[in-house]
Structure 1
Amino acid sequence: MPESPEVQALVEFVAERAVGRDIAGFEVLDYPEYKTRAVMPSVLAGCRIVAVSRHGKYVDIDAGEHHLVISFGRGGWLVWHDDGETDAHGGDAEEAAGAIVDAPAVASVALSGGSGFDVIDTGGYRSVGLWIVDRPTEVPGVAKLGPDPVDPAFSRESFDRPIVGRRKQLKAVLQEQTSFAGIGNAYSDEILFVARLSPVIHASELSEEDRDRLFDALRTVPRSAIDARRGIPLDRLKQAKIDAMLVHGRAGEPCPNGDGTVHDFTFAGASAQYCPECQTGGVIL
């Protein structure tokens, strides 16, 4: 699932190429993934893109009177093309998509000058969401978003509010979009590893020192990841994310700190990777 660092890199990529250009056409190819049925997709035709931004994991294409909001869910992504023939890096658009070449397009945006992009769904099931709204907050998921840890305005008060006193496992709290926008399964593992905290400890059990470490990790891990992803071609962002992980997806490998072996723990239909020596006092979950 794309999380805030990869979505931010995508947003900056698209903004650089699309802002100031007109939408020549917007075609929905899989209507179950289009959520605002009362609004015809054709309303975007002729609109000029004035900004592209991110709300948590959502992409917001600001076209003046209308906003095209995209949620990639678990398997969605975006493929850019120029003149319908090449991607923005000079290669064949399908070849550039690599492993996602066979993924079906959910929707397609054509821009003035011939460029554009397709929203695809690689998951084998419908996980993408598309909305055309007057304001991004008309999308329920956007309206409910908590503070974003990469926002310069993110404060200790913003952090404490969903953490202090919560009798809920820490990894689950970090992934709640109503608590912290943009953090998902992978980066929650990374944040907890850097903070040296167990994924299953209840937030209410954290000491002040624990909360200090978590607050620092919650800010620095995704911010560093955003810096590292900038400039990477869209089709390589997923692999760049995988390659950069310290513990997520690395069960059975040595701990990056040299303190033992990374373990996997599955609970409530989700999984976590962690180092027992670093995070759980040597206890295997």
Structure 2
Amino acid sequence: MPELPEVEALAAFLREKAVGRVVARVDVAAINVLKTFDPPVTALGGLTVTGVSRHGKFLDLDCDGVHLIIHLARAGWLRWSDALSPKPPKPGSGPLALRLHLDDGSGFDLTEAGTRKRLAVYVARDVDEVPGIARLGVDPLSDEFTVDRLRAVLDDAKRAQIKGVLRDQAVIAGIGNAYSDEVLHAAKLSPFRPANSLDDDELTGLHAVIVDELTSALTRAEGLAAKDLKDSKRSSMRVHGRTGETCPVCGDVVREVSFADSSLQYCATCQTGGKVLADRRLSKLLK
């Protein structure tokens, strides 16, 4: 799933490629991707892309005050082309969900792999009309994200597991499954540590790690084409997606806890004092 660094990198890429260009037309190949109807997606035709920004994990193209807002969800992606085919795509044509044409023949496809279709596209005059944006919590790379703000967030979460709190978009906007694994590994915290149980040193350390991990990911992604962002993210992960491999910090094996539709990775030596957490598919979590 694209998270804050990848979405910010996509926004930077589109600022370079799309800002100043006029939307020629938008082809919808999967009608279920559209989550709004007023204004219609056809209203974008003839408008100029005046800006591209990010709200959490939402990508926002401002077209003369009408916003095309994209949430790539788990399996969605944006594929840029300098020369799109002018032929309209057939509805339901493979992974293609939506195609945006610009006046110079360039543009992008929004695609989604798999059977769970969660890619979402909104057309709105006000970004806060999109419920997912209206409820977003603090951006972890903003000036508002201070140690005190993080303390308040964790205290409010009480004994909720810290992994879930970091992923809650209504609390902290932009961190998903991958970067929460990486943050907790770097901070040497169990993913199931109660949120309000951190002492002052752990809290300060966690705050620094969150900012550093996301900033470093942004630096790695800087200047990359959209097609290269996924590989850059995967290659930079220390524990996420690396079940069975060696922890680069201590040499222990990277372990996994699986849930119904997701999983997390961690290092027992670095994060849980050597205790192996039970796989949720098989037994109750060992605390």
TM-score by length of 2: 0.89
How many Å separate the matches in 2 of 1:177 and 1:162? 12
Q: Read off the aligned partner of 2:15 and give its amino acid letter.
A: A
Partner of 1:158: 149
Assess, with a 3 A threshold, how the Cα gap between structure 1 residues 18 and 261 changes in structure 2: closer, same or farther. same
CA root-mean-square deviation: 1.5
| CA displacement, residues 86-119 of structure 1 (integer Å, 9 cap, x when unaligned) | xxxxxxxxxxxxxxxx952111111111111111
Name the count of aligned residue pairs.
Answer: 269
Q: Read off the aligned partner of 1:284 and give its amino acid letter.
A: V
Answering whether residue 217 of structure 2 is matched by residue 230 of structure 1, we say no
Q: Read off the aligned partner of 1:212 and give its amino acid letter.
A: T
How many Å separate the matches in 1 of 2:118 and 2:77? 10
1:120 to 111, 114, 118: 111
Identity %: 40
Asked whether the equivalents of residues 25 and 110 of structure 1 are also in contact (C-alpha less than 8 Å), the reply is yes
1:194-273 → structure 2 map (5 Å cutoff): 194-267=186-259, 269-273=261-265
Moved more, 210-219 or 229-238: 229-238
How many Å separate the matches in 2 of 1:115 and 1:239? 23
Structure 2 gaps of 5+ residues are 86-92, 278-287
Asked whether the equivalents of residues 33 and 121 of structure 2 are also in contact (C-alpha less than 8 Å), the reply is yes
2:122 to 113, 116, 131: 131
How many Å separate the matches in 1 of 2:207 and 2:226? 30
Q: Secondary structure at the match of 1:47?
A: coil
Q: Secondary structure at the match of 2:49?
A: coil
Asked whether the equivalents of residues 38 and 124 of structure 2 are also in contact (C-alpha less than 8 Å), the reply is no
How many Å separate the matches in 2 of 1:115 and 1:271? 37
Asked whether the equivalents of residues 27 and 99 of structure 2 are also in contact (C-alpha less than 8 Å), the reply is yes
Answering whether residue 170 of structure 2 is matched by residue 178 of structure 1, we say yes
Partner of 1:92: none
Answering whether residue 140 of structure 2 is matched by residue 149 of structure 1, we say yes
Asked whether the equivalents of residues 58 and 69 of structure 1 are also in contact (C-alpha less than 8 Å), the reply is yes
Asked whether the equivalents of residues 147 and 204 of structure 2 are also in contact (C-alpha less than 8 Å), the reply is no
Q: Secondary structure at the match of 2:239?
A: coil
How many Å separate the matches in 2 of 1:161 and 1:108? 42
Alpha-carbon distance, 1:261 to partner: 1.8
Alpha-carbon distance, 1:267 to partner: 4.1
Structure 1 gaps of 5+ residues are 86-101
Partner of 1:278: 270
- The runs of at least 4 aligned residues of structure 1 exceeding 3 Å deviation read 267-270
Alpha-carbon distance, 1:200 to partner: 0.5
How many Å separate the matches in 2 of 1:267 and 1:75? 18
2:95 to 75, 94, 104: 104
Answering whether residue 79 of structure 2 is matched by residue 79 of structure 1, we say yes
Asked whether the equivalents of residues 26 and 45 of structure 2 are also in contact (C-alpha less than 8 Å), the reply is yes
How many Å separate the matches in 2 of 1:186 and 1:38? 34
Alpha-carbon distance, 1:149 to partner: 0.9
Asked whether the equivalents of residues 145 and 177 of structure 1 are also in contact (C-alpha less than 8 Å), the reply is yes
Partner of 2:161: 169
TM-score by length of 1: 0.90
Partner of 2:4: 4
